[in-house]
Chains A and B, each alone.
Chain A
Amino acid sequence: MAANDTLEGCFELMGGDFSNAGAASSELKSILTKLGISADIVRRAAVTAFEAEMNVIIHAVAGTMHYMIIDNTLTITLNDMGPGIESIELAMQEGYSTAPDWVREMGWGAGMGLPNIKKYADIFKIDTVVGEGTTLEIYFRLKGEKC
């Protein structure tokens, strides 16, 4: 795509909807692949999107995943209505999880989702209001340019 093209889209996410979990991230991955973005960035974007999508499904009531590409930057934004996060510092610690047992039985609850997003994103911002919801902004530089 040309450097100044803008491309964006949005997916709806439902808390507790485990049967469709990952569908948004899967769709995003195929869009990014079709755009010819390098496989390494596509993989990192897909993994971080999936972790964030699962957090909405596991921990929140409803939300959206929005993606935008502009000026050689891919931004993935997750916005949810939910309980919010009381301590971001705690939530960012590897191994910290409040996931209930039945979620663990599906393979989640390692307490590694947010740390994984931080590791694989170029820039990661988190904003939360207890009792209202959480917003994540995940940025990837395309073609090695600065945001």
Chain B
Amino acid sequence: MQLSKIIDLVNGTIVVDGGVAAIDITSVCSADLLSNVLRHGKKGALLVTCLNQPHVIRSAELADIPAVLLALGAIPVKDMVALAEEKKIVLLTTSLPMYTTCGILYGAGLRSCVED
């Protein structure tokens, strides 16, 4: 699914645009623990999290995750935004809670990166 469609679905705001239009999302990884992201995150997945810390961007970068969506109105810390800009990782926010965000994406056909 095109990332631009996902942004519409969750009424998202683009904080860092690492090439939004071109990105195709193949699955979703939702976690607040980074070792779970590193374990289960798939190449091309969208990471949905409430964690607003720079190590989230490092994890995305190293696990080939092109985009991070902060739920529940989480505001990224300055270092997180800076690292996303440097590494060209898309950073989005939504005011919707994590549960609702994931429910909407599931309803639209996206599946978890854990099931295959």
- Whether the Cβ atoms of B43 and A47 lie closer than 8 Å is no
* A108 interface residue (CB < 8 Å to B): yes
- Whether the Cβ atoms of A110 and B34 lie closer than 8 Å is yes
- Whether the Cβ atoms of B53 and A106 lie closer than 8 Å is yes
- Whether the Cβ atoms of A22 and B58 lie closer than 8 Å is yes
* B2 interface residue (CB < 8 Å to A): no
Chain A nearest CB from B79 CB (Å) reads 7
B35 surroundings in chain A (CB, below 8 A): 51, 108, 110-113, 116
- Whether the Cβ atoms of A107 and B55 lie closer than 8 Å is yes
- Whether the Cβ atoms of A119 and B39 lie closer than 8 Å is yes
A39, A46, A47, A106: the one contacting B55 at CB < 8 Å is: A106
Contact code string B27-39 (vs A, CB < 8 Å = 1, else 0): 0000011111011
B36, B38, B56, B79: the one contacting A19 at CB < 8 Å is: B79
- Whether the Cβ atoms of A50 and B39 lie closer than 8 Å is no
A29, A109, A116: the one contacting B39 at CB < 8 Å is: A116
* B62 interface residue (CB < 8 Å to A): yes
Query: In the complex, how many residues of chain A place their beta carbon closer than 8 angstroms to a beta carbon of chain B?
Result: 26
- Whether the Cβ atoms of A50 and B59 lie closer than 8 Å is yes
- Whether the Cβ atoms of A110 and B62 lie closer than 8 Å is no
- In the docked arrangement, what's the CA distance between A116 and B41, Å? 12
Chain A nearest CB from B44 CB (Å) reads 11
Which of the listed residues B32, B39, B43 has the most CB atoms from chain A within 10 Å of its own CB?
A: B39
- Whether the Cβ atoms of A107 and B34 lie closer than 8 Å is yes
- Whether the Cβ atoms of A22 and B55 lie closer than 8 Å is yes
Select from chain B the residue with minimum beta-carbon distance to A21.
B55
A49, A108, A115, A119: the one contacting B34 at CB < 8 Å is: A108
- Whether the Cβ atoms of A47 and B79 lie closer than 8 Å is no
* A25 interface residue (CB < 8 Å to B): yes
A39 surroundings in chain B (CB, below 8 A): 43, 64
A43, A107, A108: the one contacting B43 at CB < 8 Å is: A43
Chain A interface residues toward B at CB < 8 A: 18-19, 21-22, 25-26, 29, 39, 43, 46-47, 49-51, 54, 106-113, 115-116, 119
A-B CB proximity, top 6 nearest: A112-B35, A22-B58, A110-B33, A110-B35, A107-B34, A46-B62
